[in-house]
């Protein structure tokens, strides 16, 4: 009878909420927003980088006539000059050009005099980042080669002018921004965990109480925990549905955007995304338990909605911070529900190795938190006043 009663409540909640088309539609729109947003970011950010690296370098240049040698050098290295006139700063800040190379209005008095060049850049524009670095590299090369020629003409060795011979080697993934964008997947998943089934949790607890049907339900030969477990189960299924939709949408997005946008990173496979979702499973129960608990301590659906709307922000923001300021996955952090999973999911989507111990700690710690929340929630639902509309 115990399982039968739980299944009866679960079945009713599933049928009831599957017919709530509007709520389902809204709850499924959010999971699609994450992949859509990230896809656009891949296209624009990754695309911008790609164009800069592959396309001919166009150099917006002021007073082109002042330094024919430099211009000749740049053109010999494949750059195309785009003469500009007027306020170079205004052109860059207004977005008319990605950057600008300002030469002095008059040529140098003597060929040996230093040429004052100014590079106007705007780091806020992704498309200017690579182009600017390419121009700086060309200017440095021009300076080095010109200096070398002059020293050689004077009978000196160019090496005398070098104190350091700096070489930079990037051992990280060459994908750059793509890695950062992939790290944004876990916060989106966490948001979905706390929003996917919230309409079911709300309606099945606060809503039922507000309509007065919770009292009618408890006039039947069922235990409170059976009713709540059935409702919890339905909430979890709807959360999993939203999570599944989002995982598939992420997979579709990652396999639809041009591969150059992802840099050298291989998009996570469906299997890997399924592993990501399974890492979230304890969090699905945690989210449902928290929603149940919040519904128990609030007096109306409206009040519960307010709190439940804020709930995803806490773990979601932690994930966003991790995306921008990565933290090393330490066992102690695994014990913090949602934080541990965010770290794990980040490693998984970036195709990094994950520790089984870390997975175990996150699952056990989260399930322990779930047990405590459910215990507290069930106790709160035993209060008499919770059955009746406030």
Partner 1 sequence: MIEVRGLAKSFSDLRVVEDVSFVARDGEITGLIGPNGAGKTTMFRLICTVLRPNCGTTLIDGIDSQKDPLAARRRLGVLPDLRALYTRLTAREHLRYFGELHGIERHELDTRIAELVATLRMEDFIDRRAKGFSRGQQMKVALGRALVHRPHNIMLDEPTNGLDVATSRAVRDLLRRLRAEGRCILLTSHIMQEVGALADRIIVLADGHIVLQGAPAELRRATGLNDLEEIFMAVTQEAAAQPALAAGE
Q: Which residues here bind partner 1, judged by CB under 8 A? A: 1, 4-5, 8-9, 12, 15-17, 19-20, 211-213, 215-223, 384, 387, 389
Under 8 Å between Cβ of 128 and 99? yes
Nearest approach, Cβ of residue 20 and partner 1 (Å): 6
Contact residues for 242 (Cβ-Cβ < 8 A; gap 6+): 27, 28, 30, 31, 192, 195, 196, 197
DSSP letter at 212 equals T
Q: In terms of CB distance, is 179 or 386 closer to partner 1?
A: 386
The token duo for 35 is 């992949």
Query: Who's near 325: CB < 8 A, 6+ residues apart?
Result: none
| 64 CB-near residues (< 8 Å, 6+ apart) | 71, 81, 83, 103
What b/e string do you get for 240-252 counting C-beta neighbours within 10 Å, with b at 16 or more? bbbbbbbbbbbbe
Nearer to partner 1, 27 or 132 (CB): 27
Q: How far is the CB of 230 from partner 1 (least distance, A)?
A: 10
| Min dist. Cβ of residue 237 to partner 1 (A) | 16
What is the nearest approach in angstroms of partner 1 to the Cβ of residue 200? Answer: 12
Q: Round to whole Å and give the CA distance between 258 and 235.
A: 37
Of 114 and 221, which has the nearer Cβ to partner 1? 221
For partner 1, give the closer residue by CB, 230 or 340.
230
Helix or strand (DSSP H, E) at 100: strand 100-102
Q: Rounded to the nearest whole angstrom, what is the least distance from the CB of residue 25 to partner 1 in the complex?
A: 15
Distance of closest approach, residue 42 Cβ to partner 1, in angstroms: 40
304-323 burial code (b ≥16 CB/10 A, e <16): bbeebeebbeebbebbbebb
Contact 13, 239 (CB under 8 A): no
Rounded CA separation 63/86 (Å):
10
Task: Write down the least CB distance from residue 366 to partner 1, Å.
Answer: 32
Q: Which is nearer to partner 1, 223 or 305 (CB)?
A: 223
Q: Which is nearer to partner 1, 63 or 231 (CB)?
A: 231
Phi, psi of 120 (to 5 degrees): -95, 120
As measured in angstroms, the least distance from the Cβ of 224 to partner 1 is 11
Contact 81, 65 (CB under 8 A): no
In the bound state with partner 1, the residue whose beta carbon lies nearer, of 103 and 222, is 222
Identify which of residues 127 and 210 has a Cβ nearer to partner 1 in the complex: 210
Q: Give the C-alpha separation, 344 to 346, whole Å.
A: 5
């Amino acid at each position: 009878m115990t399982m039968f009663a739980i299944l009866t409540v679960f079945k009713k909640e599933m049928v009831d909420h599957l017919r709530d088309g509007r709520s389902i539609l809204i709850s499924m729109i959010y999971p699609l927003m994450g992949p859509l947003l990230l896809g656009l970011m891949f296209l624009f950010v990754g695309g911008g980088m790609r164009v800069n690296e592959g396309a001919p370098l166009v150099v917006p240049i002021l007073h082109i006539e002042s330094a024919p040698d430099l211009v000749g050098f740049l053109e010999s290295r494949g750059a195309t000059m785009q003469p500009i006139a007027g306020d170079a700063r205004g052109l860059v800040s207004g977005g008319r050009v990605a950057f600008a190379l300002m030469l002095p209005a008059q040529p140098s008095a003597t060929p040996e005099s230093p040429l004052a060049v100014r590079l106007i850049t705007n780091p806020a524009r992704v498309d200017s980042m690579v182009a600017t670095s390419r121009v700086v590299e060309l200017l440095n090369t021009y300076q080095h080669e010109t200096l070398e020629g002059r020293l050689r003409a004077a009978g000196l060795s160019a090496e005398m002018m070098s104190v350091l011979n700096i070489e930079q080697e990037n051992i990280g993934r060459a994908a750059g921004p793509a890695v950062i964008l992939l790290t944004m997947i876990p916060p989106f998943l966490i948001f979905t965990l706390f929003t996917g089934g919230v309409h079911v949790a709300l309606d099945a607890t606060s809503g039922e109480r507000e309509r007065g049907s919770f009292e009618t339900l408890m006039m039947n030969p069922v235990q409170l925990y059976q009713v709540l477990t059935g409702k919890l189960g339905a909430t979890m299924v709807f959360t999993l549905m939203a999570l599944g939709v989002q995982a598939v949408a992420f997979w579709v997005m990652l396999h639809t955007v041009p591969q150059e946008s992802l840099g050298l990173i291989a998009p996570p496979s469906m299997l890997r995304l399924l592993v990501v979702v399974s890492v979230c499973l304890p969090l699905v129960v945690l989210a449902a338990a928290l929603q149940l608990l919040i519904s128990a301590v609030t007096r109306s659906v409206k009040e519960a909605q307010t709190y439940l709307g804020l709930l995803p922000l806490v773990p979601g923001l932690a994930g966003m911070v991790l995306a921008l300021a990565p933290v090393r996955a330490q066992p102690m952090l695994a014990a913090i529900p949602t934080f541990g999973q965010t770290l794990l999911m980040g490693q998984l989507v970036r195709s990094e190795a994950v520790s089984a111990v870390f997975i175990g700690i996150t699952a056990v710690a989260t399930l322990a938190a779930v047990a405590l929340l459910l215990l507290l929630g069930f106790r709160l639902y035993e209060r008499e006043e919770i059955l009746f509309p406030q």
